[in-house]
């Protein structure tokens, strides 16, 4: 049974869900998501004898938004302080997308705290824009100049939002001003130099139809993390925990059993 609780961490009210008893597991959700998206996985793992904790990261779900734009380091500090509050000292860490960025930071600094790492379609490597995207970005600069002119300025916000939706940056459009600036701070950091520092045993899971973070980056993560195993899910997109929760749970539990 999943129960929902709140705790004050570094001045912010953080909402989180817990389930089960046993060896602890900490789950970090992706950008624009919440602990709710991991409920099926949380229930399954709890039934198998694990204590599963899944917080709503600040700015998402039922947790408070930070008072000012945060960096990736701010999120990493919040997560480690939260884990301390829950007495999580030797835990499995599961992280998806944006949560994967935080997990990379945590694992390179607090490796001794993390028993094993599971990265699910993690973000963190700067994706080079394709030629089509570069052309669109050049067009956006021209459009920005046009919509800055007095007769067209009233349409500027609408045009900007339409443009970001066109580029699939819908999370940016939906975010408030603080979280938009947070997204910029998070995206500017390329974690590629940090990934080889991960020495923990790692399972990398990726959907081969992921359009947010293409599957080619799965092989780069596998190459850079020395003690890692890669599972590619066919016909699955960016969110295996929602699309194939049963299969993902099976792979996670199998990984926990390996030495």
Specify the fold of 3-126+190-257: Rossmann fold (3.40.50)
Spatial distance between the Cα atoms of 167 and 171, rounded to a whole number of angstroms? 11
Spatial distance between the Cα atoms of 94 and 240, rounded to a whole number of angstroms? 13
In this structure, of 175-179, 193-197, 249-253, the range with the lowest mean pLDDT score is 175-179
pLDDT tens digit sequence for 89-140? 899 999 999 999 999 999 999 999 999 999 999 999 987 654 444 444 455 4
The confidence score (pLDDT) of residue 53 equals 98
In this structure, of 29-38, 111-120, 160-169, 244-253, the range with the lowest mean pLDDT score is 160-169
CA distances to 55, 113, 187, 248 from 22, in Å? 18, 16, 36, 20
In 3D space, the residue among 74, 73, 81 whose CA is nearest the CA of residue 55 turns out to be: 81
Average pLDDT, the chain: 87
**Pairing mode of beta strands 12-19, 228-233:** unpaired
Tokens 């904790």 sit on residue = 53
Domain boundaries along the sequence of the chain? 3-126+190-257, 131-179
The confidence score (pLDDT) of residue 131 equals 46
């Amino acid at each position: 049974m999943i129960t929902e609780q709140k705790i004050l961490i570094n001045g912010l009210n953080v909402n989180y869900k817990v389930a089960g008893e046993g060896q602890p597991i900490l789950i970090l959700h992706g950008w624009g998501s919440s602990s709710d998206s991991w409920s099926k996985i949380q229930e399954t793992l709890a039934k198998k004898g694990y204590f599963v904790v899944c917080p709503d990261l600040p700015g998402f779900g039922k947790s408070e938004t930070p008072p000012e734009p945060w960096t990736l380091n701010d999120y990493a500090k919040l997560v480690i302080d939260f884990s301390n509050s829950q007495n999580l000292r030797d835990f499995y860490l599961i992280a998806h997308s944006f949560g994967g960025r935080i997990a990379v930071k945590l694992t390179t600094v607090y490796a001794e705290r993390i028993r094993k790492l599971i990265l699910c379609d993690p973000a963190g490597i700067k994706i080079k824009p394709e030629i089509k995207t570069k052309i669109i970005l050049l067009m956006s600069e021209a459009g920005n100049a046009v919509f800055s002119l007095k007769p067209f300025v009233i349409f500027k916000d609408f045009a900007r939002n339409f443009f970001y939706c066109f580029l699939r940056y819908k999370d940016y459009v939906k975010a408030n001003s603080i979280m938009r600036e947070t997204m910029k701070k998070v995206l500017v950091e390329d974690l590629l130099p940090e990934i080889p520092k991960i020495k923990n045993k790692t399972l990398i899971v990726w959907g081969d139809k992921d359009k947010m973070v293409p599957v080619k980056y799965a092989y780069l993560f596998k190459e850079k993390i020395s003690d890692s195993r890669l599972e590619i899910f066919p016909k699955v997109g960016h969110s295996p925990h929602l699309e194939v929760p049963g299969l993902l749970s099976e792979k996670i539990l199998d990984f926990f059993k390996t030495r």
